[in-house]
Every structure is written in structure tokens, then in C-alpha cells.
Amino acid sequence: MTATIEASGVVKRFGKTVALNGLDLVAEHGEILAVLGPNGAGKTTFVRSVATLIRPDEGTLHVFGHDVLRDPGIVRQTIGLAGQFAAIEPAMSGRENLEMVARLFGQSRRSARASTAKVLEQMGLTEAADRLARTYSGGMRRKLDLGASLVGSPKLLLLDEPTTGLDPRSRIELWDAIRSLVDEGTDVLLTTQYLDEADRLASRMVVIDHGKTIATGTPAELKQSAGRSVIEVLVRERDDLAEVAKVLSQVNGGQPQIDESTRRVWLSVEGGIELLGTALKHLETLDIALDDVALRQPKLDEVFLALTGQALEEEPEKARKGHGAA
């Protein structure tokens, strides 16, 4: 079976900026592949290349075996795109928006109506279907936008940061919607800078940084790569963080990480419970108030830090525009 997406050595430059620097990636049929990376890593550029919106300068990029450069028309018939902005018409109802896109996919009026009704149901928008989209909440707009990318029954759905700027409840609803698609046989490529999103949604992840693939695997595999477990200490006073880190470094000679904002110090360790014992002994020698000491599985942000030497933002630093489109 042909891979859903096969990218090999993809390079894209914008003037002097190299957005993709020899990116390799394979997405298989039946999976949700998450492309994870910090801002500016090249996630959006890659999605836009797959969507035939921009043309890679070098390398090869195939979607269901079709070259995006040679056969963009065929590729467009197989994909649905939901970009970072909700690309819907606020002056049209949800139903009208979806029917418009279905018609543009070449469906007859009748089948456009049918597929619209189905997608509205799927997105939980049936009740609001005949209201103008300008009256929708941010979460509903995103759902409508996702619906618009689905209404043409694409074989591959491209989602560029689908939940950025959404409140937690809307995010979870959108995740459910995305998951149900895969059950119906649609392949999904999504980009995200939220680790929990990749963790909960993706069957496989590709971590990219500076336009290159730096790691790939299931969430569990990637977590393993950061060491088997983590000793985490929650310190009461922020001023004591450095001291605790110094002591922890004696446990296995590793470099503990400090998170000032949450007052945490953590250390990746290969061993298990016996190293926790050692750590506790070292910590007892200090006269420092601790709120918690724990041994746990590594989290993806620690994996990311281990891979790139750079923290991945948990929350975007500023709210993005684009909840509404023209």
C-alpha cells in the first residue's frame, strides 16, 4: 500500500530563510500523525506544501503516490485542509458554508446537501446549522472549519494547529471529532505545539525543528528516549530551586532541569525506585521545605527539551488572530 504522505529531503526557502531544510517524513494509512515543533520549526510550511499551496524547492513530496509538483490537481482531490485561521464565511450559515465547499469539490447540489447534513451531525452543529456563522463562538467556528475540510470526503485531512486559541472544552470536543474521523478511514496529519494534543490524539509523532525531522515514533517511544523515568521535586520557595538542583545532580551525574514558574526541579534517570531512595537521602541533608517528591514517567515536554535543547511552549505567548475570517 502506498504511503499517505512520503516526504524526502524537502527544502523550502523564503528569500534567505530556510523554512524546510531537508525534511523527511512518512505518514502511513490509518494513522493520525502529529507534527510537533516550536514556532518557526516549519510545521505550517510543510502542511502548505502537502496542500499544494506552495511548491517545495528541492526534494520529493508524494501524497498517495502523487507528486505534489507534477500532479497538484490530483492531490487536491484527495485532501481537505483546515488552516490556522477559520476559513469560513461569517455572512453565510453553517449549512451554506459547507454546501459551498461541497459544491466546489464537484458534488451535485443533491449530494452536497447530503454530505453537508452528515458533516453537521458529525460536528454537532446541526442545531446551529441555519444560523449565520458570524453568530458562532470560536469553538463552533473551528468545528465548522474542520467540517468544511471534511465535506468533500477527503482521504487525507490536513490540520494546521487545529485547536490553537480554543478553550479547553472546545479543544476536547474537537479532539473527539478528529478521532472519530480516523475511525471512518480518513488519514490525518496535524501540526501542534501542544504536547498533550499530540499525546492524546496521535498514533505517531514526528518532531521537527529548524525545518528538519529530529525524532519520530509513537508517543510512548519518544518518552522512552528521554530516559525511563523522572524524579521530580516540588520546592516550596523559589529561591531554593538552584540548591535542590545541585543536590539532585549528585544522584546520577545528570543535569537536572529547573522550571521557575512551577517551582519544579526534575531529573531524568535510567533506574527506578532505588534512585529515588538515593535522591531522598541527598535531599534530607538539606534544610529546605519540599512540597512533593515523585518518581514518574517523562512528559513530552521533557522529551522535547532533551531532543532540541529548547522548551516547547505549553501555551502560545499571544492569542492568535483568525478566529473569524472574512
Partner 1 sequence: MATATATISANKASLLSSTTVIARRTFLKFIRTPQLVVVGTVQGAMFLLIFRYVFGGAITAGGVSYVNFLVPGFITTGIIWQGMMSAAGIAEDHDQGFFDRLRSLPIPRAAVLTGRALADTGTQIWGLTIMTLIGFAVGFRLGGSVPAAIFAFALIIVFSFAFEWVFITLGLYAGNAQAAQGMSLMLIPFTFVSSAFVPVQSMPGPLRAVAAHQPVTYMIDAVRTLVLGTNGGVSLGHTASYFVVRALLWSAALVAVFGTIAVNRYRKG
**Residues in touch with partner 1 (CB under 8 A):** 48, 51-54, 73, 76-81, 83-89, 91-92, 96, 100-101, 103-106, 132, 148-149, 152-155, 158, 184-186, 322, 324-326
Minimum Å distance from CB 52 to partner 1?
7
* Minimal distance, residue 295 CB to partner 1, in Å: 45
Residue 296 near residue 113, CB atoms below 8 Å: no
State how far the Cα of 191 lies from the Cα of 176, in Å rounded to an integer. Answer: 16
Question: Going by DSSP bridges, is the β-strand pair 187-192/156-160 parallel, antiparallel, or unpaired?
Answer: parallel
Q: Which is nearer to partner 1, 116 or 186 (CB)?
A: 186
Helix-strand-coil split of the chain, %, nearest 5: 35, 25, 35
Integer Cα distance of 264 and 234 in angstroms: 5
- Least Cβ distance, residue 24 to partner 1 (angstroms): 23
* 235-243 contacts, C-beta under 8 A, 24 or more apart: 235/263, 235/264, 235/265, 235/288, 235/289, 235/290, 235/291, 236/263, 236/288, 236/289, 236/290, 236/291, 237/263, 237/288, 237/289, 238/263, 240/288, 240/289, 241/265, 243/286, 243/288
Identify whether the C-beta of residue 60 lies closer than 8 Å to the C-beta of residue 212. no
From the CB of 208, what's the least distance to partner 1, in Å?
21
40 vs 185, which CB is nearer to partner 1? 185
Please report how close the Cβ of residue 242 comes to partner 1 at its closest, in angstroms: 45
Q: Residue 301 in 3-state DSSP? A: helix
Check: CB of residue 100 under 8 Å from CB of residue 92: yes
* Cβ 51 to partner 1 shortest distance, Å: 5
